[in-house]
């Protein structure tokens, strides 16, 4: 799956897209592959505050739980309700329909600290080499 | 040794294959000074016959031949040959937790049936595969309420089993939970005014037991309403499962913590029993303990698996919902078989017999001058009486007539100095009840 | 390939629905003696406020149907009684049947925990003899038999440590746990109110003692160690580890899950352990019963004795035994009604059968593990090659090259007539095959197991698909765990009745 050029990425495999001060946050295709079939997603409530680097939710597969770390600080304005009924969307469309939360950014500069697509692709390519080494 | 399937020659052969000169070589990683030089000082070895003889001799030093009126959380109910036949089948007795679903379908389906029956009994939507016992299930229910509400104050009725409260306090001590006790009212049930006064929006759980430790039946629905009004959850502990064959289930509770000992498990001097937690579907992810779920195999056949395992310690480690690994699978299986045998009619009839016999026992005791019913609240198979004399003295007299008298409430409740908790079940005969009443009368009439 | 499967063949297995699906109103499987007292009318006495009509949906079947139902279910299980059950860390050994008999005796099973102590001397003597025996085996000073199972034993142990440190004036903050530890350890430490700090194992799978020395500060309450570790390797520097902790006023907790490697050979008490739990359902052969009940006694050194859960067993003048509830410094109760007495009875029966000969069981367990290791180490990777004690841990690294992982191999073992080994553990070995044969396996059974795993290793290279789709001979094939977790169905419900107004 291609990694959208307009997204920013973290080393914990979250992506973030910013428009008009609102950031949409999700996990990457690489992350969903590592997790396997997702069975449950736990997201914060609207109005919750998230902080950079702090866990704001979890994604569960049958035998693993992954924390999701906030790539930026802000206030949650929407959580993706479809994931409650259809967590498998994360496996099929991680960069689109399976966005996790939308956040009103507290600090617009947060986004610029993240990797761009080239850096992220290089980062996961390195990871792949580690795994087969 | 009869349990070890090796001849001396085979041991030598295996050592040779490994390339070790002696068995000691296999223990070479234990530093020499720490290896035991002499045999353990243990009794035995005993033959099978000697083992049986030893335990028969111990059994003879116990209460064999006495009639008992003790309940207080451990009940003497009928058990069935069928239940024992099933749980002694090696396929159930000698298997492990059903992680390998393809060769554990028997255990898994039985647990699924157990979960279903517990839901039917309690009026709840989901039940786990069992926990240690009623006391730890009650504690786990409180911890679950804490996770669900994010609050730290617990209001527990003093009429909850004293040992259940003790266990909760042990667990609460280091987890920042603040446990407060709510007194009981004159009729033996929870003092609702005291509850109202203590209920604030920092309370995670209100915990009651029904029938409570004095035998009194609590009205669950209004208690649930009070708890919910402040955002607290209502936890109902059930120590006497047979009562659910006759009494309204605690359907309004948010969490039911139950002891299943009454369903085919022997008193066994205190264990093993089977605790279980039942709750609402929406709370299932905060529920501790194992869960069995229905699914299909790769060819579309129905099958069962342990599911939602990500709540458990082997995956979550320090973030798990509980540190418990073991459930009480074999005890839960016994309860499942027992409840299946009883069925709808049998359970109802058993419950009604308990009820009738307790009513009869009370009426026989009330005829005695110096015996008074202590609490007006309705009861199931246990009730509290106040005696004119110390219960201990009366019990000492009863022992001479080969009767183990009622539970002495004065021990955990210093204000109930002359109060006794009497229990009768379907196993207590009318004649035994009459004999008991006569013995109590004599004990009270005897000059001091 | 089937010619290689020597231990198992196919056999007709019966289908069986859920008991609720067999129910038919009016059938019953249980009769009570007629009521011999006047019948009280619950409707009148209780009224509508408290009374229920009946338990909706409860099964109504006859006795033979109950017996057949559960007997059929039982045939879908694998069990120690059927063959080797080499689950690492679980110690699936023979469960002697005489233990079942004695636990059911009248006068043993029938006793009420609140009956007078003078009528419980037999029970108390059993507990006393078990206490003494376990103290002898562990080399400790005092013991509590109250904890329900291992995890509760761990908690009890940490609460004892906490109480002891509190009396010294500082409960401290952290508990150190090696990365090879069982997941229960960290979960328990949190419940005891401690933060968890993980210690990485050094390259041979042992505790990194230099690292430990750095980590042990005045903030550390205890180290929780499993010895032998979950790799089946003895921590050779145990006494030194104990000294490091004691030097800083911290204590050493030992997870006794692997006592089957030590009983009669070495004693944790001599190695510097301050407190430990035992899993009687592992080392002392009480039946696992599909996941419990267990018992998790906690043995300790003298310094922790005052804090034991109440009541404790005491011997009075003339040899009379009693329970002492008046324990001011006790951590409290961890379970109602004392320990799982029925389990304790079975454990004592087991120990009586062996006596000092218990050492032979330990030796045979270690012999079996090493024998299996020797015959498999050329076909499976051995990630840590220090000497094995009672279990051996391989990895699937060689088979992974053909896309076969440890779970596939485990499932294929089922076709060969064996229960799988442990797969998900220890965490420091990716793709682990954790094999604990126990002393209960004959040379013949070990040989069959070795042949089976060698055959599967070969299949993994020549016909990986066969392994990846195993098991092939079970009643159900691999089950859809994803669907089970996404849309949990956790209870049976009656089929929806068709509404009359529906078209």
DSSP H or E stretch at residue C224? strand C220-226
Instruction: Specify the pLDDT at position C501.
Output: 43
List chains touching B (3+ CB pairs under 8 A): A, C
Closest by Cα among C413, C296, C404 to C347: C296
Q: Are strands A74-79 and A49-50 parallel, antiparallel or unpaired?
A: antiparallel
Please tell me the distance from the alpha carbon of residue A29 to that of residue A38, in angstroms, as a whole number: 12
From chain C residues 310-329, the ones with a CB under 8 A of any chain A CB are: none
Distance (Å) of CA B222 to CA B101, B218, B283, C346, C439: 43, 10, 21, 46, 58
Apex B303 CA angle, C455 and C395, nearest 5: 30
Cis-peptide, bond into residue B211, ω within 30° of zero? yes
Instruction: Specify the pLDDT at position B309.
Output: 82
- Contact C94/C285 with Cβ under 8 angstroms? yes
Residues in C touching B345 (Cβ below 8 Å): 28, 60
Task: Give the chain A residue whose CA is nearest to the CA of C424.
Answer: A63
CB contact under 8 A, C471 and B345: no
**Over the stretch C265-310, which tens digit does the pLDDT of each residue have?**
999 999 999 999 999 999 999 999 999 999 999 999 999 999 999 9
**Over the stretch C425-460, which tens digit does the pLDDT of each residue have?**
888 899 999 999 999 999 999 999 999 999 999 999
Residues in B touching C425 (Cβ below 8 Å): 314
Please tell me the distance from the alpha carbon of residue C201 to that of residue C176, in angstroms, as a whole number: 12
Closest by Cα among B375, B397, B395, B378 to B386: B375
**Over the stretch B399-434, which tens digit does the pLDDT of each residue have?**
999 999 999 999 999 999 999 999 999 999 999 999
Contacts of A33 (CB under 8 A, 6+ apart): none
Instruction: Specify the pLDDT at position C425.
Output: 80
CB contact under 8 A, B309 and A62: yes
Sheet holding B407-408, edge to edge: B371-373, B382-387, B419-423, B407-408
C374 by DSSP, 3-state: which?
helix
**Side-chain half-sphere exposure of C243, counting CA atoms within 13 A:** 6
Residues in A touching B316 (Cβ below 8 Å): 65
pLDDT range class, residue A132, cuts 50, 70, 90: very low
CB contact under 8 A, B62 and C123: yes
Instruction: Specify the pLDDT at position B252.
Output: 98
C5 by DSSP, 3-state: which?
coil
Residues in B touching C123 (Cβ below 8 Å): 58, 62, 269
Instruction: Specify the pLDDT at position A1.
Output: 80
- Contact C268/C251 with Cβ under 8 angstroms? no
Closest by Cα among B70, B132, B59 to B330: B132
CB contact under 8 A, A64 and B309: no
CB contact under 8 A, C486 and A39: yes
Q: Given its phi and psi angles, is residue C438 left (phi above 0), alpha (psi -120 to 50 degrees) or beta?
A: left
Q: Which residues of chain C have pLDDT under 70?
A: 1-2, 497-503
C424 by DSSP, 3-state: which?
coil
Q: What is the mean pLDDT of each run of 10 residues along chain B (448 residues)?
A: 97 98 96 96 97 98 96 97 98 96 97 98 97 96 94 97 97 91 98 97 98 97 98 98 97 98 98 97 92 95 92 66 78 98 97 98 97 97 97 96 98 95 98 98 89
From chain A residues 90-119, the ones with a CB under 8 A of any chain B CB are: none
Instruction: Specify the pLDDT at position A64.
Output: 81
Instruction: Specify the pLDDT at position A126.
Output: 85
Facing residues of B276 across strands? Answer: B258
DSSP H or E stretch at residue C323? strand C321-324
- Contact C257/C113 with Cβ under 8 angstroms? no
B79 by DSSP, 3-state: which?
coil
The pair of three-digit structure tokens given for residue B48, joined into one six-digit string: 């099978």
Q: Are strands C142-144 and C174-178 parallel, antiparallel or unpaired?
A: unpaired
The pair of three-digit structure tokens given for residue B398, joined into one six-digit string: 């009863």
Residue given tokens 């320090």 in the structure block: B318
DSSP H or E stretch at residue C164? helix C150-168
The pair of three-digit structure tokens given for residue C327, joined into one six-digit string: 């324990």
Instruction: Specify the pLDDT at position A130.
Output: 55
The pair of three-digit structure tokens given for residue C477, joined into one six-digit string: 């094939």
Please tell me the distance from the alpha carbon of residue B398 to that of residue B69, in angstroms, as a whole number: 11
Residue-averaged pLDDT of chain B: 95
Task: Give the chain A residue whose CA is nearest to the CA of B282.
Answer: A84
CB contact under 8 A, B407 and C58: no
CB nearest to B4's CB, from C27, C78, C439: C439
Residues in C touching A60 (Cβ below 8 Å): 485
From chain A residues 42-81, the ones with a CB under 8 A of any chain B CB are: 42, 60-65
Instruction: Specify the pLDDT at position A133.
Output: 41
Instruction: Specify the pLDDT at position B318.
Output: 66
Full 3-state SS string of chain A: CCCCCCCEECCCCEEEEEECCEEEEEECHHHHHHHCCEEEEECCCCCCEECCCCEEEEEEECCCEEEEECCCCEEEEEECCHHHHCCCHHHHCCCCCCCCEEEEECCHHHHHHCECHHHHHHHHHHHHHHHHC
Q: Please provide the DSSP assignment of B82-150 as one string.
A: HHHHHHTSHHHHT---S-SGGGBHHHHHHHHHHHHHHHHHHT-SEE-S-BS-HHHHHHHHHHHHHHHH-
**Over the stretch B83-142, which tens digit does the pLDDT of each residue have?**
999 999 999 999 999 999 999 999 999 999 999 999 999 999 999 999 999 999 999 999
Instruction: Specify the pLDDT at position C324.
Output: 96
- Contact C334/C156 with Cβ under 8 angstroms? yes
Any C CB within 8 A of A37 CB? yes
pTM of the full predicted structure?
0.95
Residues in B touching C272 (Cβ below 8 Å): none
- In terms of Cβ atoms closer than 10 Å to its own Cβ (0-12, 13-18, 19+), residue C444 is exposed
Alpha-carbon torsion angle C144, C148, C149, C150, nearest 10: -50
Facing residues of C222 across strands? Answer: C175, C251
């Amino acid at each position: 799956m291609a990694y959208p050029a307009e997204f920013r990425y973290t080393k914990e495999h979250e992506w973030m897209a910013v428009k008009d001060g609102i950031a949409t946050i999700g996990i990457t295709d690489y992350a969903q592959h590592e997790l396997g079939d997702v069975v449950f997603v736990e997201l914060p409530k609207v109005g919750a505050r998230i902080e950079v680097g702090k866990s704001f939710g979890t994604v569960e597969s049958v035998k693993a739980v992954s924390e999701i770390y906030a790539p930026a600080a802000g206030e949650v304005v929407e959580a993706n309700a479809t994931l409650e009924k259809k967590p498998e969307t994360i496996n099929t469309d991680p960069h689109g329909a399976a966005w996790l939360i939308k956040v009103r950014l507290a600090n617009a500069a947060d986004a610029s600290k993240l990797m761009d697509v080239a850096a992220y692709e290089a980062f996961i390519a390195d990871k792949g080499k580690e795994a087969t080494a | 040794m009869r349990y070890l399937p090796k001849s001396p020659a085979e041991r030598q052969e295996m050592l040779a294959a490994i390339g070790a000169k002696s068995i000691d070589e296999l223990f070479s990683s234990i530093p020499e000074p720490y290896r035991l030089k002499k045999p353990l000082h243990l009794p035995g070895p005993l033959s099978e016959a000697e083992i049986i003889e030893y335990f028969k001799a111990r059994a003879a030093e116990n209460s064999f031949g006495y009639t008992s009126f003790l309940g207080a959380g451990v009940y003497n109910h009928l058990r069935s040959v069928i239940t024992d036949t099933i749980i002694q089948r090696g396929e159930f007795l000698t298997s492990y937790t059903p992680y390998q679903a393809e060769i554990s379908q028997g255990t898994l389906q039985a647990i699924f049936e157990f979960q279903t029956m517990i839901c039917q009994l309690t009026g709840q939507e989901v039940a786990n595969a069992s926990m240690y016992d009623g006391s730890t299930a009650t504690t786990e229910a409180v911890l679950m309420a804490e996770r669900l509400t994010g609050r730290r104050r617990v209001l527990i009725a003093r009429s909850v089993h004293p040992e259940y409260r003790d266990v909760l306090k042990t667990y609460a001590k280091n987890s920042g939970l603040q446990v407060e006790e709510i007194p009981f009212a004159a009729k033996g049930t929870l003092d609702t005014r005291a509850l109202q006064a203590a209920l604030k929006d920092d309370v995670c759980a209100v915990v009651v037991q029904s029938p409570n430790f004095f035998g009194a039946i609590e009205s669950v629905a209004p208690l649930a309403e009070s708890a919910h009004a402040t955002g607290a959850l209502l936890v109902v502990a059930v120590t006497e499962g047979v009562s659910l064959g006759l009494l309204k289930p605690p359907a309004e509770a948010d969490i039911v913590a139950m002891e299943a000992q009454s369903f085919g498990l022997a008193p066994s001097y205190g264990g093993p029993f089977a605790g279980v937690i039942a709750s609402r579907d929406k709370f299932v992810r905060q529920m501790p303990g194992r869960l069995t779920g229905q699914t299909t195999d790769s060819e579309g056949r129905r099958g069962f698996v342990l599911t939602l395992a990500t709540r458990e310690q082997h995956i979550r480690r320090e973030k798990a919902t509980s540190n418990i690994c073991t459930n009480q699978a074999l005890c839960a299986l016994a309860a499942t078989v027992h409840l299946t045998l009883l069925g709808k009619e049998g359970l109802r009839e058993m419950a009604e017999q308990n009820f009738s016999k307790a009513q009869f026992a009370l009426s026989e005791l009330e005829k005695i001058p110096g015996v008074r019913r202590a609490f007006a609240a309705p009861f199931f198979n246990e009730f509290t009486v106040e005696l004119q004399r110390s219960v201990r003295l009366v019990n000492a007299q009863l022992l001479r007539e080969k009767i183990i008298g009622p539970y002495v409430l004065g021990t955990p409740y210093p204000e109930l100095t002359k109060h006794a908790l009497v229990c009768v079940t379907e196993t207590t005969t009318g004649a035994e009840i009459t004999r008991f009443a006569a013995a109590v009368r004599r004990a009270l009439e005897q000059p001091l | 390939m089937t010619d290689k499967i020597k231990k198992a063949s196919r056999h007709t297995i019966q289908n069986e629905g859920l008991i609720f699906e067999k129910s038919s109103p009016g059938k019953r499987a249980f009769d009570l003696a007629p009521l011999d007292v006047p019948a009280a009318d619950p409707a009148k006495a209780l009224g509508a406020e408290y009374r229920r009509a009946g338990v909706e949906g409860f099964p109504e079947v006859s006795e033979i149907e109950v017996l057949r139902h559960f007997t059929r279910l039982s045939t879908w299980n694998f069990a120690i009684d059927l063959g080797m059950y080499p689950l690492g860390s679980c110690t699936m050994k023979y469960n002697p049947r005489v233990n079942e008999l004695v636990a059911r005796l009248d006068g043993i099973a029938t006793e009420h925990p609140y009956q007078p102590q003078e009528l419980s001397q037999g029970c108390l003597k059993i507990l006393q003899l078990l206490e003494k025996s376990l103290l002898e085996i562990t080399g400790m000073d005092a013991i509590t038999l109250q904890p329900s199972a291992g995890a509760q034993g761990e908690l009890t142990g940490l609460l004892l440590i906490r109480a002891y440190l509190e009396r010294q004036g500082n409960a401290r903050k952290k508990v150190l746990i090696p990365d090879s530890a069982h997941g229960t350890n960290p979960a328990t430490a949190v419940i005891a109110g401690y933060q968890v700090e993980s210690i990485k194992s050094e390259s041979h799978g042992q505790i990194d003692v230099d690292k430990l020395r750095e980590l042990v500060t005045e903030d550390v309450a205890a180290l929780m160690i499993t010895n032998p570790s979950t790799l089946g390797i003895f921590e050779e520097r145990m006494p030194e580890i104990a000294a490091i902790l004691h030097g800083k006023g911290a204590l050493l907790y030992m997870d006794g899950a692997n006592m089957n490697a030590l009983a009669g050979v070495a004693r944790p008490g001599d190695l510097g352990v301050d407190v430990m739990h035992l899993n009687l359902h592992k080392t002392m052969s009480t039946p696992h019963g599909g996941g419990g009940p267990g018992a998790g006694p906690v043995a300790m050194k003298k310094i922790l004795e005052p804090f034991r859960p109440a009541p404790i067993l005491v011997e009075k003048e003339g040899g009379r035994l009693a329970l002492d509830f008046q324990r001011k410094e006790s951590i409290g109760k961890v379970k109602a009604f004392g320990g799982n007495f029925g389990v304790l009875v079975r454990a004592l029966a087991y120990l009586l059968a062996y006596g000092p000969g218990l050492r032979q069981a330990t030796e045979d367990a270690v012999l079996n593990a090493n024998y299996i290791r020797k015959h498999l180490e050329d076909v499976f990777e051995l990630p840590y090659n220090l000497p094995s004690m009672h279990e051996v841990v391989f990895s699937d690294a060689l088979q992974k090259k053909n896309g076969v992982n440890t779970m596939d191999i485990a499932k294929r073992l089922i076709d060969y007539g064996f229960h799988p080994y442990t797969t998900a553990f220890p965490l420091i070995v990716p793709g682990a095959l954790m094999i604990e044969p126990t002393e209960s396996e004959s040379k013949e059974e070990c040989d069959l197991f070795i042949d089976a795993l060698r055959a599967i290793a070969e299949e993994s290279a020549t016909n990986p698909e066969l392994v990846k789709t195993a098991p092939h001979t079970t009643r159900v094939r691999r089950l859809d765990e994803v669907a089970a977790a996404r849309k949990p169905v956790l209870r049976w419900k009656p089929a929806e009745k068709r509404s009359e107004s529906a078209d």
